[in-house]
Chain A
Amino acid sequence: MIKIFRSVCGFFIVIILFSSITISCSIHIIRQLINPSQLKSISTAGKVVKVHMKDGSLFVLDSLITKESSDTINGFGFYYDKYRNMIGFNVTRKGLVNGLPFHIGLSDVALIELNEVEGVKGKALSLALVGVPTLIITSYCLINPKACFGSCPTFYSYDGTDTSLMAEGFSSSILRAFEKEDIDMLYLAKTTGNNFHLRMKNEALETQVIRYADLLVLPRSGNERVFSTSEGEFFKSSCIKSPETCQAPEGSCLDAVLQMDNKERFSSADPKNLAKKETIEMTFENVHGSANGLIIGCRQTLMTTWLFYQSLSYLGNSAGYFAAKVESGDKFLQRKVDRVWDLLGDIEIFMKDHKGKWQKISQVGEMGPIASDVHLIKLPYSDDKNIRIKLQMTKGLWRINYLALAGLEEKVEPITVKPSTVIAVKGANSHEADLLKNPDNPLITLPGDEYDIYYNLPESAENYEIFIKTRGYYIEWMRDTWIAEENLKQAAIFFGFPRLFMKKAAGDFKKIEPSMEESFWNSKYVRKN
């Protein structure tokens, strides 16, 4: 799981922007002194007017009434003598009129004074624009530190315009016992020449053990894309079709799933049961060819992160013992852990057959709330021109970024490319020459470590579809605040009766759910390098 903080670049842009506003908005007092003869040509509406008399006395007037033909002015306010003793007033301190207006002969007036203040609003706005979000995020993190600071190795690469987050590795491998290989499509990655660069970061309070981080590259041309199934098969496709309709419980979600962009379809968790399911139905019309696959781009919400941290909190000081038991091969405990995640489940894919019945095709799901993964699910051969698909998943657990139908053209085999050079940008392993080259000698990273990984792509093609294949696991660092929440009874319910726990915990989760995602990303260093 991850955790980190605000983008350094974004951070400095904010500082420069608001500093500029600040400097250009310095407070100015504009004081005008006007001869009485000019009074009728200027507007005093809404302004406090000071009338300096020739004898040194002073009227401070909240309102001033002037008449074109008159040689007197009338007003309401306060009257002071030259020694600044108050000698009259016709309004209260609260501005309520309580007497007749002052009649002031223009011939006795020396000067009229008007004041205007500029720049206060600009500065206050600047401070509020930075201060209020800071206050909101901090307040949220004070209430829910576990939701705010939390979670796996992250991979950044060039997307054509900038360096951005592309993938997260083995999010479900929370102990060595759960270590597994993970293949993620770098959907937005762009190659330049035959060199490819990734930056790998440990952005969480965890120790990450990475055995390898190889590329799987597949030559492609034109508008071809290559997608992979969860079984590790790769298929080329140049015919990618968006759904005609996409219906979720809240209404059409078509706009959110048309592109692999920032728009995502997601829902909030059920208020009474975190494991409650929901469905999305979509249709593809005028489908050509009989070999098709469904493409799903998705990531998890922070529900699993929260549940994972909650379980560690409940275990408290026993977390180490629990982890050691699992690591030592205690299958009973391993199954307990698996049961929790199985209850939440993957995204199940159903397809309507020619009899009108929904048939389950497959299921996909990869843990991790940071980067969307792109999955290909092979659909049964069908000559139907219209294909209807249904996704069933836990409510509030998944953020669907992209849905499409791909005509499967050719099965292709990837070329495995191992890192040519690994450089420690921040980390203690800079002296080692064989980083990420020997799985038996894994790279171990600590919070804050960063590594630049360079690959030499084969020269046989100009353009490649790139996937990253990682293997490893990570160990979450226990926080004092988690230990303070130790509650073995709750831990027993969590692992022993997960179905009951999902109902009991729904209320607590719902309290923080609305702001969890925003707070998480605002507190994260997703750096654009």
Chain B
Amino acid sequence: MSGKIKSILSILICLIILSGCQNKMIPAGYLPKPKEISRSITGSWIKVATYLDTLKDNKIDLYGELLAFQNDTLYVLTEGGFISLQKNKINSVSLYIFAPTEWAFLGLLFIVPNVIGALSYSDYAQYFLEIGIPIFLVSTIMGAVDSDGANNIMHYPGIYTLEDFTKFARFPQGLPPGLERNKLHLVITEAK
């Protein structure tokens, strides 16, 4: 087997391993698969870059569940508790609506037999790898489109306003009357 083929094989094996081990920073349950979103009982996960009152020049990133947006105020439930943020204190927001399908990983799974073939039959290693090129490219492009074109993440400022985020809040109708803030908790479910 030539050095070039060995290098390609090493890269492919690393990609297969690494793409299956992507660390997720968002708690399980807050990043449903597209098909599960209609059963989600929480608001979407939100990342807010905000200015602190005490340190005007400093930004801080807050993470949590979007509870509501009303009267120019964003209500977020973080691990530390309930937080309200005035719109004018918000620098940027990212809202994570659903988990992107890992097309690149699925595509790499399709070429596992090609990698096995290349390793098992060194004479034909090049041919086995060439057979796998179309699926590798298609899945890579899919993965790139999903992670970059990104319908699963809404960003503010940009094409979205904070009002557009309302429908992805736990309370799209606004905070309900009599809400006891200390009783609110993140709904952490076990990862599937």
Q: Are A134 and B135 in contact (CB under 8 A)?
A: yes
Instruction: Answer yes or no: B84 CB below 8 A from chain A CBs.
Output: no
Q: Are B173 and A135 in contact (CB under 8 A)?
A: no
Among the stretches A48-56, A151-159, A321-329, the one at the interface with B is A48-56
A142 to B134, CA, bound (A): 18
Chain B residues positioned under 8 Å from A50 (CB to CB): 38
Q: Which of A15, A29, A82, A145 contacts B137 (CB 8 A)?
A: A15
Q: Which of B122, B138, B172 contacts A52 (CB 8 A)?
A: B172
Give the shortest distance, in Å, between B71 (CB) and chain A (any CB). 16
Q: Which of B38, B172, B183 contacts A47 (CB 8 A)?
A: B38
Q: Which of A14, A82, A113, A145 contacts B134 (CB 8 A)?
A: A14
Dominant SS at the A interface?
A: mixed
A84 to B187, CA, bound (A): 7
Tell which of A11, A134, A149 has the most Cβ of chain B within 10 Å. Answer: A134
Q: Are B183 and A83 in contact (CB under 8 A)?
A: yes
Give the shortest distance, in Å, between B167 (CB) and chain A (any CB). 5
Instruction: Answer yes or no: A341 CB below 8 A from chain B CBs.
Output: no
Q: Are A84 and B42 in contact (CB under 8 A)?
A: yes
Whether A22 contacts B127 in the complex (CB less than 8 A), given A120-B101, A127-B107, comes out as no
Chain B residues positioned under 8 Å from A31 (CB to CB): 167-168
Q: Are A138 and B101 in contact (CB under 8 A)?
A: no
Chain A residues positioned under 8 Å from B123 (CB to CB): 145, 205, 479-481
A391-423 vs B: 1/0 string, CB under 8 Å?
000000000000000000000000000000000
Q: Are A134 and B134 in contact (CB under 8 A)?
A: yes
The total number of A-B Cβ pairs within 8 Å is 168
Q: Are A55 and B39 in contact (CB under 8 A)?
A: no
Q: Are B134 and A15 in contact (CB under 8 A)?
A: yes
Give the shortest distance, in Å, between B73 (CB) and chain A (any CB). 17
Give the shortest distance, in Å, between B166 (CB) and chain A (any CB). 8
Q: Are B41 and A22 in contact (CB under 8 A)?
A: no
Task: Count residues of chain B with CB under 8 A from any CB of chain A.
Answer: 58
B25-58 vs A: 1/0 string, CB under 8 Å?
0000000001101110110000000000000000
Give the shortest distance, in Å, between B175 (CB) and chain A (any CB). 8
Give the shortest distance, in Å, between A358 (CB) and chain B (any CB). 46
A126 to B172, CA, bound (A): 35
Closest to A53 in B: B176
Q: Which of B131, B151, B152, B172 contacts A5 (CB 8 A)?
A: B131
**Which residues on A are within 8 Å of B, measured CB to CB?**
3, 5-6, 11, 14-15, 18-19, 22-23, 26-29, 31, 33, 47-48, 50, 52-56, 58, 60, 80, 82-84, 110-111, 113-115, 117, 119-120, 123, 126-127, 130-131, 134-135, 137-139, 141-142, 145, 148-149, 205, 479-481, 523
Q: List 29 A-B contacts (CB under 8 A).
A: A6-B134, A14-B134, A19-B141, A22-B141, A26-B145, A26-B146, A27-B34, A31-B168, A55-B177, A55-B178, A56-B176, A58-B41, A82-B171, A110-B172, A110-B173, A114-B38, A120-B101, A126-B138, A127-B107, A130-B138, A131-B106, A131-B110, A137-B131, A138-B117, A141-B127, A142-B120, A205-B123, A479-B124, A481-B121
